[in-house]
Structure 1
Amino acid sequence: MKLWKPGRLRAALQQWLGLPIGLTETGFWQEWFGTSSSGKSVSVDAAMRLSTVWACVRLLSESVSTLPLKLYRRLPDGSREAATDHPLYRVLCRSPNIEMTPQRFMLMLVASICLRGNAYIEKKSIGSRLVALVPLLPQCMSVKRLDNGRLHYLYSEASGQRPIPEKQLLHIRGFGLDGVCGMLPIATGRDIFGASMSAEEAAAKVFANGLQASGFLTVEGGTAQGAGTLTKEQRELLRKSLEEFSSSKNAGKTMVLEAGLKYQGITMNPEAAQMLETRAFNVEEICRWFRVPPFMVGHMTKQSSWAASVEAQNLHFLTNSLRPLLVNIEQEINRCLIDENEAEELFVEFAVEGLLRADSTGRASFYISGLTHGWINRNEVRRLENLPPIPGGELFTVQAAMISLESLERPAPEKSP
């Protein structure tokens, strides 16, 4: 094993699996991530091979990335309008950088929070004008608090390490306890993910073996050494013969028994062995870790799929899963990207109505409620549906059938002859 110098070891700690850092010692990574109680070495790459982790991270990141993020300006009358003339609007809503769309940018940001507990975005400016937002790999960032109370960020890349001033970073933290960085979900819950990895590996080995210990071979005759006893050479020949029937690709072949061999079958039910229950429980455990309803990742049970409609499911997902994440991102953007002299005028916000776009019935009910109660007009509805305005569509209307009780007591006007 190589002897690590302190400087080289410190630089290596800033790196992660998949980066060309020249570090191939498996033991180093096992020590860095830690080994779960099940004996599995848990890393982000290994956890992403679990279908539930993959589904949860994709669900959260893709759901947030499809919600429109807009920059608004508060108006004196208490309303708001899109601040399309502000330079920050182009960066946030049209092109964060030269390579990414807003959807890809937000997807990477949320995935980093889910898997690494932190998301780091470097601000690129020309003078005082913000021109781009570049996401950084959180596994390459080192953060510590200095004696003066400020945070020191050190980023490792192929060309070496470089410090990044705190004011040049947008640091969005996940759940944490020290206020400096978010906790790493994969490292904190290594036992949960390690147990699921062990269960998946055990299931794969069972199905990879077509014979799957479904019976025993007994010998009635035997050799001079004793009845029912095989020599070492005979066991080896028998073992090689069984290999032709013991894999899934050989399933269905007919085995020929000779020399007094008899096959006694046994039943090994994976469900009786609690394999299916264990795998189902692991799905719920991982969903609990990511705060995702199990039915949103295809785990449908009578306990988890309680919502009676698509709209109710979306509301449950928005309220309990997405809302804390959305508020965290909105407030960090307002804090780090909007100047102090504009903080009272400008703000960013996700348009969560995008979750109802796939539910035409829920969308129609929402619009009808606004039109009949007079808090939205027809052109505003058409604008939300990407339709052109119509003449007279700016008028606000209410349901004429709704009249006050006092009006019922008034005598009807007399008709003129």
Structure 2
Amino acid sequence: MPLNSENLLAFFGVETADLPRVTIDRALSVPAVLCAVVFLSRTLATVPLHAYRDTKEGPIKLAGKTGITLHEAPNDLMGSFKFRQYFWQCVFTGGRGLAWIERTGSNIEGLWPFDPRKVTIRRRGFDQVYICDGKEYPAADVIDVPFMLKEDQVSHRGPIQMAGKAIQLAIAMNDYGSNFFAGGGVPPLALSGPLPQGDAALRRASADVDRAIKFAKANKSPVLPIPAGHELKPVGFDPAKGQMTEARLFQIQEIARAYQIPPAFLQDLSRGTFANVEQQDLHLVKHLIDQWASAFEDELNLKLFGRFKNGRYVEHNLNGLQRGDFKSRIDGIARAIQTAQMTPNEARALENRPRHPNAAANELLVQGATVVLGSQSTTETTPETPPADDGETHDDET
């Protein structure tokens, strides 16, 4: 059989040179893609999300329907975690998260996620509408976070679509490995020697060899009978010699690049050390989670409160991702109290503990020895006046 591109692809489980279209479900069968989508969606769903209003005393949390909708339950069927996890799953698979804002007048009643596959987006001049199940929704009532917008500012690109070739190769290697070991680890074989003439005779000879291999496998026999003067030779590469293990590790790194996620969070610790994994943790929050959190905040602020939001805004608390172990957390809180960065009651609130009734718990405290430079007392101590000499001789000796 001549070695061409189709045969080479068939060796990896791909039947034709036209690689199959990668669907979301097929892509999620690749563990690295599944890990990236699940990890990012769950992480972003975990970050606390609150609505605030600016006041002269500082920001205060909104406690009405808006606060409950964002922080606790966006609608009657979903809690905040479930809603946001689904929303981000849509972003990191198909490439777009959509949700409708239910309003009663100026009051926000709920947020309802759309199935992006059922939504058509139309641009009419400077207006944009979202059509779902035959009903039109104005852009002002739809939360819309795309993975990447196209040039027309309407359609989008998704990570699975853009990384399709890398995912196809990962699928091909998964299929090849499954087929290889399902076949007892027997690679494709070529029968060499005097062969019968004609297509029908060659097919019969190939079928005879195939039956012999299956018979040996079924009977757990190490001996495989072949015609005299013939020889079986493997076609293709042994997985170890073909470095499929290294190639599959490389595909994890390729998928990590597509999502801009550090490889350690796709469970690839082949190059991991204690130091660089810790740095990847910082990189994750600073250069990935913070960016997507900002995109969600901007969209919520614009669509919930409008361009002129009158001091109201939505914000994630990314400190929830950096709480650390118990000792580090408590040491950091104690340091913040001692340096007048937070009050004891504010610190207790971080740990979900009740406020202390003592009024001093609402005051900023600082160590007593810490004073403004140059403000320390310069009064010198006056030495005691020695007793007057009365002219008498005092003998201390006995």
**Residue of structure 2 in register with 1:138 after alignment:** 116
Alignment length (residue pairs) = 362
- The residue type equivalent to 2:291 in the other structure is P
The 5-angstrom pairing of residues 306-345 of structure 1 reads 307-308=275-276, 310=278, 312-339=279-306, 343-345=309-311
**Residue of structure 2 in register with 1:39 after alignment:** 19
**Residue of structure 2 in register with 1:108 after alignment:** 86
**SS of the counterpart of 2:102?**
strand
Gap change, CA 1:259 and 1:195, over 3 Å in 2 = closer
**Residue of structure 1 in register with 2:157 after alignment:** 183
**Residue of structure 1 in register with 2:60 after alignment:** 81
Q: Among all aligned residue pairs of Structure 1 and Structure 2, give the percentage whose two residues are the same amino acid.
A: 20
Gap change, CA 1:257 and 1:362, over 3 Å in 2 = same
The 5-angstrom pairing of residues 191-210 of structure 1 reads 191-210=165-184
Asked whether the equivalents of residues 209 and 226 of structure 2 are also in contact (C-alpha less than 8 Å), the reply is: no
Q: Shift of residue 194 of structure 1?
A: 1.7
Gap change, CA 1:363 and 1:259, over 3 Å in 2 = closer
Asked whether the equivalents of residues 120 and 169 of structure 1 are also in contact (C-alpha less than 8 Å), the reply is: yes
**SS of the counterpart of 1:286?**
helix
For residues 7-47 of structure 1, the C-alpha deviation after alignment (integer angstroms, 9 at most, x for no partner) is: xxxxxxxxxxxxxxxxxxxxxxxxxxxxx977132111111
Residue 220 (structure 2) pairs with residue 242 (structure 1) = no
**SS of the counterpart of 2:362?**
coil
Q: Shift of residue 276 of structure 1?
A: 1.3
- Counterpart of 2:49 (choices 65, 69, 73) is 69
**Residue of structure 1 in register with 2:239 after alignment:** 270
- Partner Cα separation in structure 1 for residue 343 and residue 238 of structure 2: 62
Gap change, CA 1:88 and 1:415, over 3 Å in 2 = farther
For residues 301-348 of structure 1, the C-alpha deviation after alignment (integer angstroms, 9 at most, x for no partner) is: 32x6574565x443221111111100000010000011566x132111
- Counterpart of 1:119 (choices 91, 97, 102) is 97
For residues 249-301 of structure 1, the C-alpha deviation after alignment (integer angstroms, 9 at most, x for no partner) is: x6x92334558879889795423202112111111111111111110110113
Asked whether the equivalents of residues 216 and 223 of structure 2 are also in contact (C-alpha less than 8 Å), the reply is: no
- Partner Cα separation in structure 1 for residue 191 and residue 107 of structure 2: 79
Asked whether the equivalents of residues 53 and 312 of structure 2 are also in contact (C-alpha less than 8 Å), the reply is: yes
In our comparison, the structure showing a higher alpha carbon Rg is 2
TM-score by length of 1: 0.76
Asked whether the equivalents of residues 38 and 194 of structure 1 are also in contact (C-alpha less than 8 Å), the reply is: no
Q: Shift of residue 380 of structure 1?
A: 1.2
For residues 335-392 of structure 1, the C-alpha deviation after alignment (integer angstroms, 9 at most, x for no partner) is: 0011566x13211100111112453344234313312211112221111101122333
The 5-angstrom pairing of residues 351-362 of structure 1 reads 351-357=317-323, 359-362=325-328
- Partner Cα separation in structure 1 for residue 268 and residue 348 of structure 2: 37
- Partner Cα separation in structure 1 for residue 226 and residue 291 of structure 2: 70
- Partner Cα separation in structure 2 for residue 407 and residue 354 of structure 1: 40
- Partner Cα separation in structure 2 for residue 213 and residue 258 of structure 1: 17
Gap change, CA 1:174 and 1:214, over 3 Å in 2 = closer
Gap change, CA 1:374 and 1:46, over 3 Å in 2 = same
**SS of the counterpart of 1:393?**
helix
**Residue of structure 2 in register with 1:295 after alignment:** 264
Asked whether the equivalents of residues 96 and 102 of structure 1 are also in contact (C-alpha less than 8 Å), the reply is: yes
- What is the RMSD computed on CA atoms of the aligned residues? 3.4
Asked whether the equivalents of residues 118 and 173 of structure 1 are also in contact (C-alpha less than 8 Å), the reply is: yes
- The residue type equivalent to 2:135 in the other structure is R
Asked whether the equivalents of residues 213 and 224 of structure 2 are also in contact (C-alpha less than 8 Å), the reply is: no
- Partner Cα separation in structure 2 for residue 374 and residue 338 of structure 1: 34
The 5-angstrom pairing of residues 150-229 of structure 1 reads 150-156=127-133, 161-178=134-151, 179-213=153-187
Task: Identify the range of structure 1 (399-408 vs 162-171) with the bigger mean alpha-carbon deviation.
Answer: 399-408
- Partner Cα separation in structure 1 for residue 265 and residue 315 of structure 2: 24
- Counterpart of 1:399 (choices 355, 364, 367) is 367
**SS of the counterpart of 1:387?**
coil
Q: Shift of residue 126 of structure 1?
A: 2.9
Q: Shift of residue 67 of structure 1?
A: 0.8
- The residue type equivalent to 1:333 in the other structure is L
- Partner Cα separation in structure 1 for residue 139 and residue 226 of structure 2: 79
Structure 2 segments unaligned to the other structure (5+ residues)? 1-15, 386-398
Gap change, CA 1:241 and 1:81, over 3 Å in 2 = same
Q: Shift of residue 204 of structure 1?
A: 1.9
